[in-house]
Amino acid sequence: MESAWVNTTLDLNVNPFFHTNQAPKREADGKMADFEVKSPIKQEIGILVEELNRVSAENKKLTEMLTALCEHYATLQKQYEELVSKNTETGSSKKRKAECEDYSTAVIGFTTNAESSCSIENSCKKPKECINGKISRACVRADPCDNSLIVRDGYQWRKYGQKVTRDNPSPRAYFKCSFAPSCPVKKKVQRSAEDPSILVATYEGEHNHTHHSPSALSSLSPVNSGAATANNSRSARVSSSSSAPAVTVDLTKPAGSDDDTKKPTQKVDQPAIQQILVQQIAASLTRDPNFTAALAAAISGKVVDQKL
């Protein structure tokens, strides 16, 4: 992932003759008398210098926007890695404290733990529950006014309990998967203590049935679709693309250095305006918290699938 930066190369053709049809021709006709072109050339140079300054300023602005984008991405990635490393840590004997800390820090994103079962709640579970203990966590942005602890993830859940925990004023709801009678998966949903608009869903176990609930998927609310709606298997990717407009972000291109933007580019077939458009879209997307949350969920879901 480290190398998956956005290409920062801007195809801003600052060739002085780019915007003038006459100049190259005159250059080709190089033997033209000085007195014939002196005055128009001066005027033209002034215009071109002005144009160059404008483009340079725009270039600088775009570079800054792109830097912000990359920093934002790096921050998200760092957050994700911290969460993963935290979940893979072993040895915290004080399970309840550890769990509490997890809730307070896992504000955005989706974490899972496929290899080391029960690491999040390693010491709290009965041994028999740890055998199938694949634990994952999803954070879903929800309306703070909505008291229902419902996380729509495509599965059918049956609520079997609710409890107010010590470290969080909002109650914790307990769900069992009712899609299949023998499905052992359980889900705990609780609002984040720090941000009541975020629902933290913790999944335990693996579904022993296929996930096909179109009605449930189609009912994913816009509130959820923009945030990280996910569970421990496939629905993370499905939900993130179910109702939101399709946005394809290519992060596979290597990043260009700052110097790259200053180099004159050989490519003239790609209009600069398209590049600017792309940059502006990227910048606006990174300012959208829903998009960043969805991106985090999508990345997490990808990692989960690779682990499976």
Q: Applying CB under 7 A, which residues contact DNA?
A: 93-96, 99-100, 121, 123-124, 126, 129, 148, 157-163, 165-167, 172-174, 178, 186, 188
CB of 217 to DNA, least distance (A): 17
- Closest Cα partner for 190 from 239, 224, 150? 150
- Beta carbon nearer to DNA, 129 or 195: 129
DSSP per-residue letters across 235-273: HHHHHHTTSSPP------SPPPPHHHHHSPPS--SS-HH
Residue closer to DNA (CB basis): 31 or 126: 126
Cβ proximity to DNA: between 124 and 285 the closer is 124
- Give the DSSP H/E element, type plus range, for residue 76: helix 34-88
Considering beta carbons, is residue 174 or 291 the nearer one to DNA? 174
Query: What is the Rg, in whole angstroms, of the alpha carbon atoms belonging to the chain?
Result: 27
Minimum separation from the CB atom of position 179 to DNA (A): 10
Stretch (H or E) spanning 204: strand 198-204
In the complex with DNA, which residue's Cβ is closer, 22 or 178? 178
- Taking the complex as a whole, the smallest distance from the CB of residue 151 to DNA amounts, in Å, to 12
Q: Quick one: 15 or 104, whose CB is closer to DNA?
A: 104
Kindly state the smallest distance separating residue 163's Cβ from DNA, in Å.
Answer: 5
Asked if residues 153 and 138 have their Cβ atoms less than 8 Å apart, the reply is yes
Closest CA to 52 of 19, 85, 77: 19
Shortest Cβ 238–DNA spacing (Å): 21
- Which residue, 147 or 280, has its beta carbon nearer to DNA? 147
Q: How far is the CB of 173 from DNA (least distance, A)?
A: 7
| Residues sharing a CB contact under 8 Å with residue 32, sequence separation 6 or more, in sequence order | 26
Nearest-approach distance from CB 181 to DNA, in angstroms:
11
Whichever of 152 and 234 has its CB closer to DNA, that residue is: 152
Burial 31-46 (b: 16+ CB within 10 A, else e): eeeeeeeeeeeeebee
Q: Which burial class, exposed, middle or buried, applies to 207 when counting CB atoms under 10 A from its CB (0-12, 13-18, 19+)? A: buried
190 touches 171 (CB < 8 A): yes
For residue 242, count other CB atoms closer than 10 A to its CB.
18
- Under 8 Å CB-to-CB from 255, ≥6 apart: which residues? 3, 5, 6, 7, 8, 70
| Residue 281: CB minimum distance to DNA, A | 39
Q: Which residue has the tokens 């470290």?
A: 167
